Structure 1
Amino acid sequence: MDNSAGSDPQPINGRSQGRRQSILAEFLPESLPLPPSFLATSPIVREILTRDIAECSSDDEQTVHPSDSDGESEIHPADAKLAFHPNGVAYGSGYSAIAIQGIDRPVPNPTEVEESLQAEVDLLRDNDIIPPKHPYSQRRNFFWRVYRRFFSTRVKDQEEPIPIFHEPATETTPLLPGIAEADEPLPTPPREEIYEVFEEAVAAHIIKTTWQREAKTLIQYAVPLIVAFLLHYSVTIGSVLTVGRLGMVELAAVNLATMTASITCYVPVQGLSTCLDTLCAQAYGSGHKHLVGLQAQRMTWLLWILMIPIAVLWWFSEPILSSLVPDQETASLAALFLRILILGMPGVAALESGKRFVQSQGLFNATTYALMIGAPLSFLQNYLFVFKFGWSFAGAALAMAITQNLLPLLLVLYVRFVNGMECWNGLTRKAFSNWGPMIRLALPGMIMIEAQFSVLEILTIAAGQFGTAQLAAQSILVTVTSTSFNIPFPLAIATSTRVANLIGAHLSDAARVTAKVAIVAGFVVGAFNLTLFTTLNETIPRIFTDDDEVVGIAKQVILVCALMQIFDALAAVSHGILRGVGRQAIGGYANLFSYYVIALPISLSTAFALDWKLSGLWAGLTAGLAVVSALELVYLYHADWESAVAQAEARMKSEDVTAESKLTPA
């Protein structure tokens, strides 16, 4: 493909001067053993943006280069070596064990550049290459030495034994040692000096990290995402909690309806919209900011059109659901829930596009702010519609549909009155052009995600064969395990970003430290969830329903889900590490193999042949997750991380050569 057409393609392909980009996309997709349909998304991105630059840029749509904005001429996208960017994030994706693949964002924005700078400063300070923020205290008391030994991120503190005892005082020992020094902060070197020093330190192989630094970084990255994920999924939790008070049949119906909605609509929408992670970020990074809004508009229109046949399917879903589950009342209520959820379809599509629109500008908290308002309102609506107004089961569906439309509206208000308008040039007819390449870019991600989620729909239909009580218990278990998964999954996103950036910065040893910390953290999270599930195995189901039969079933099966938590967390984190080193295909294929070859056969055979019913279904899923985590961890144990660094370097060099050749006159 000829990428020379169009104006200013260099920020898309990489810069010939300045620092190398260390984003995961720099060494994808050559390092992946993927089939042809999954290869080389970046040429498609270039094709889309080149066409849009040529066709959709005019005098009134000025190109603003990052180096020209706000007078920050020293800031360049390629300076972001260690920036955090939660790409591919689909908040509240829902169901356990499935790690969304997504497409990695190749161009950081100014916010990420600043975060990258701070991350480099932290590593340089940890290695005593630049002065610390505060002078190291000379205190010799016991607690200070304990802190330095176990919590200090400084490499020297961890490599040199620090005796934990009181040194005898002498005539020259100060009465208040270190206090004056600690109160006087040292100046941080200029930006360009930090860049130069960091490059020299990496070249000299003297940059190291500690588990304390990586643990602190992962916590810093993951906690905001955990909050956002839990807030978004609370919309579903609110509906399930409310419906559970209505009765067993209603609880079973809401599970069948929400799972069907996820498989037929929400998951495909999330999968298709992941291509905006690349397109919007590339448009913003290349300086063509008006194209960010154009890409978001184009995807929104596409999703709205695709939702027309889905809406028809939902409206006439009762006969289909009736053939899948034996209880006709459950199928009828589930179909009613789906028909009302049609009202929320426009909001679902707009939110997915809107999230990428603000994230590409570095406004990662915008969605969280919208959720902080929308989630509590969702609980209030459930209470009012279901109990106060007496709308019963239909009221819960209406509350969810209204919230789905409210969230993108809150995002629009944030963009209009707070930040983000610089990338919006208003509605345009140009959003109806250039769809072909965008669809080719979006389809692979959607297919992979859909293939992985489909196994959960199969298990839900299987649960319905055992009766209404079993399906109602399944609703509780799916909600609880999905909620618990919203802790390790954000941790996996943070891990993949940190590992990818360290690999791209040629810090493979540091990346290995991050991987080890993440695996331990994943195990700790899984153990915490396991403890919670086992100790509250009866309390948790009673939060959702007072039906003793449903509580009895859920109380027994939740012990199986408790064991699953360990493997669920390890599988999520290990997949995040694989994504960070450019081997997410290994995790994707391991998931498909384990779910369809291991989990599904075991689930169906134990549930039906051995008559374990719901326990059998979850036992099979647990076995599949155990296989997934084992395969991925074994691969990581034997992986050659240096080869990932070499592949990243080779790709960056080739792109530098390409950029230079385009600058050279014929």
Structure 2
Amino acid sequence: MEREGERPCLKRPLIEGGRVERKQVIVEELKKQLWLAGPLICVNLLQFCLQLISVMFVGHLGELSLSGASMATSFASVTGFSMLVGMASALDTLCGQSYGAKEYHMLGIHMQRAMFVLLLVSIPLSVIWANTGPILVAFGQDSEISEVAQLYARYMIPSIFAYGLLQCLVKFLQTQNIVFPMMISSGITTLVHLLMCWVLVFKSGLGVRGAALANSISYWTNVILLALYVKFSSSCVKSWTGFSKEALQNILFFLKLAIPSAVMVCLEMWSFEMMVLLSGLLPNPQLETSVLSVCLNTASTVWMIPFGLSNAVSTRVSNELGAGHPQAARLAVNVVLVLAVTEGILVGAILILIRNIWGYAYSNEVEVVRFVASMMPILAISNFMDGLQSVLSGSVRGCGRQKAGAFINLGSYYLVGIPCALLFAFVLHMGGRGLWLGIICALIVQVLSLLTITLRNNWEEEAKKATERVYNSVVA
């Protein structure tokens, strides 16, 4: 009897020890992700602010200048920046897994290869930007606004080459968990950009052209700062060993991930921009477009938080898979999902609490303020779902499953989201609310699809694939 009574006492310390150890592992993973995500959120916000600051300065030149610069910024995002961000996201997988496998020199090779490809892609994109005006007119936009947009876009052309290089440098450092230098570099660039805009827009007499030129100078400034850090920092000694001809080999190896990555990002970004364009077809288009633009700007700003978490988990997953630690990668996904849910609830609550005053940040028109207030609960729901899809997409990038992500985004936004938006807005006459509800339908399908493939992930198999991918790239 005594022995039977003693059995629980013998087991309890082992069980408690296991629980304590498990808790420590979770806390450690949480610390790693927050350590990564915090600076990355700052980097994303600061980079996002560059174009926002330029447009704000241009806004003081008049309504036509503001409309043209806003149109050019949106056009540049759709036809250039989204493509480059997407293609550079292939480095989440390649550099992250190489770092985890301790094949440090391959990070520099992957980065150089990505830079070479993105510079080539930037050439045709710059031709498109040079013809912004005729393209916008062909899509039915106002000729005067299109003319200003063309002027702005042409002076932005140098920035597209810098932007591609910048994204490669960011991914190169991010996958090595080197994030604070990027935050400092982005902070310096933003401060310089403020001064640059003031001088070039107001003091030099360049006006709209000055704001676009300030963008180009600022992006190149950030590139130079990060390049100098990579060149001279002891943190990059193993991963940057100088320029190599190996980067010009096996370009297809990079494109196999880069193209699905670009499709994955572009399909999502384009659908949001399409909502603003569709709002122009609604009754009272001026009100609907204004409110949808406010909602899109708000959503883009708060999205920087889950986007930072997304980049953090893609780094954690790719590092652990490359190191052959599948269960650690799985834990990273579980932890980030909890973070995303928490962030979504907090930010959603804030959006609802400020709903009656937020519109005043953009307009003094009571009608606009009231419409924005009615949209904020819908925006809170979309932010919650968008946060979940962001971190799940980060997990997909960390595993190297961008092709699956591209198909999911295609189905979610273009087979479900946009048709639902058209139904709600134009058939059920729900206006701008209907357009945004269509986006929420897309996000729900996207989250459920990404969650399904994440739950069904064979993490041991993903670790094997990561090992094969790393050593195939070494042989190349």
The answer on whether the counterparts of 1:459 and 1:617 sit within 8 Å (CA) in structure 2 is yes
Matched residues in 2 for 1:382 and 1:632: separation?
41
Describe the shift of the 1:654–1:368 C-alpha distance in structure 2 as closer, same or farther (beyond 3 A).
Answer: closer
2:309 paired residue number = 491
1:626 paired residue number = 444
1:458 paired residue number = 274
1:588-644 per-position Cα deviation (integer Å, ceiling 9, x unaligned): 4333222112210122233333444433221211222123234444666xx456xx2
Matched residues in 2 for 1:559 and 1:355: separation?
34
2:223 paired residue number = 408
Q: Could you tell me which amino acid in structure 2 is paired with residue 220 of structure 1? A: W
Describe the shift of the 1:250–1:468 C-alpha distance in structure 2 as closer, same or farther (beyond 3 A).
Answer: farther
Matched residues in 2 for 1:632 and 1:424: separation?
34
Matched residues in 1 for 2:330 and 2:422: separation?
40
Q: Could you tell me which amino acid in structure 2 is paired with residue 320 of structure 1? A: I
1:267 paired residue number = 82
For these two proteins, the number of residue pairs brought into alignment is: 456
User: How do residues 96-135 of structure 1 correspond to structure 2 at under 5 angstroms?
Assistant: none
Which residue, 325, 328, 334 being the options, matches 1:505? Answer: 325
Is 1:313 aligned with 2:128?
yes
Unaligned runs of 5+ in 1: 1-127, 130-154, 161-205
Is 1:543 aligned with 2:361?
yes
Which residue, 50, 61, 72 being the options, matches 1:257? Answer: 72
1:235-271 per-position Cα deviation (integer Å, ceiling 9, x unaligned): 2332344445555555544443223212221122223
2:297 paired residue number = 479
Matched residues in 2 for 1:397 and 1:313: separation?
16
Once the two structures are TM-superposed, the CA of residue 389 in structure 1 deviates from its matched residue by 5.0
The answer on whether the counterparts of 2:97 and 2:466 sit within 8 Å (CA) in structure 1 is no
- SS for the counterpart of 1:568 is helix
2:143 paired residue number = 328
Matched residues in 2 for 1:423 and 1:216: separation?
24
- SS for the counterpart of 2:345 is helix
Once the two structures are TM-superposed, the CA of residue 226 in structure 1 deviates from its matched residue by 1.6
Matched residues in 2 for 1:320 and 1:575: separation?
32
Describe the shift of the 1:423–1:390 C-alpha distance in structure 2 as closer, same or farther (beyond 3 A).
Answer: same
Describe the shift of the 1:411–1:263 C-alpha distance in structure 2 as closer, same or farther (beyond 3 A).
Answer: same
Is 1:647 aligned with 2:461?
yes
1:17 paired residue number = none
The answer on whether the counterparts of 2:55 and 2:69 sit within 8 Å (CA) in structure 1 is yes
Q: TM-score, normalised by structure 1?
A: 0.58
Once the two structures are TM-superposed, the CA of residue 487 in structure 1 deviates from its matched residue by 0.8
1:141-186 per-position Cα deviation (integer Å, ceiling 9, x unaligned): xxxxxxxxxxxxxx948959xxxxxxxxxxxxxxxxxxxxxxxxxx
Matched residues in 1 for 2:107 and 2:464: separation?
30
1:443 paired residue number = 259
The answer on whether the counterparts of 2:257 and 2:402 sit within 8 Å (CA) in structure 1 is no
Describe the shift of the 1:585–1:288 C-alpha distance in structure 2 as closer, same or farther (beyond 3 A).
Answer: closer
- SS for the counterpart of 1:571 is helix
- SS for the counterpart of 1:487 is helix
Q: Could you tell me which amino acid in structure 1 is paired with residue 436 of structure 2? A: W
2:346 paired residue number = 528
Is 1:594 aligned with 2:409?
no
Describe the shift of the 1:320–1:465 C-alpha distance in structure 2 as closer, same or farther (beyond 3 A).
Answer: farther
Once the two structures are TM-superposed, the CA of residue 348 in structure 1 deviates from its matched residue by 1.2
Matched residues in 2 for 1:586 and 1:270: separation?
18
Is 1:345 aligned with 2:160?
yes
Q: TM-score, normalised by structure 2?
A: 0.78
The CA RMSD measured in Å over matched residues stands at: 4.2
1:461-496 per-position Cα deviation (integer Å, ceiling 9, x unaligned): 223445455444443322221111111122233345
Describe the shift of the 1:297–1:629 C-alpha distance in structure 2 as closer, same or farther (beyond 3 A).
Answer: closer
Matched residues in 1 for 2:131 and 2:117: separation?
23
Identity of aligned residues (%): 28
2:48 paired residue number = 233
Q: Could you tell me which amino acid in structure 2 is paired with residue 614 of structure 1? A: G
Matched residues in 1 for 2:137 and 2:385: separation?
34
Q: Could you tell me which amino acid in structure 2 is paired with residue 453 of structure 1? A: M
The answer on whether the counterparts of 1:499 and 1:577 sit within 8 Å (CA) in structure 2 is yes
Describe the shift of the 1:607–1:537 C-alpha distance in structure 2 as closer, same or farther (beyond 3 A).
Answer: same
Describe the shift of the 1:354–1:553 C-alpha distance in structure 2 as closer, same or farther (beyond 3 A).
Answer: same
Matched residues in 1 for 2:64 and 2:376: separation?
20
The structure that is helix-richer by fraction is 2
The answer on whether the counterparts of 2:325 and 2:463 sit within 8 Å (CA) in structure 1 is no
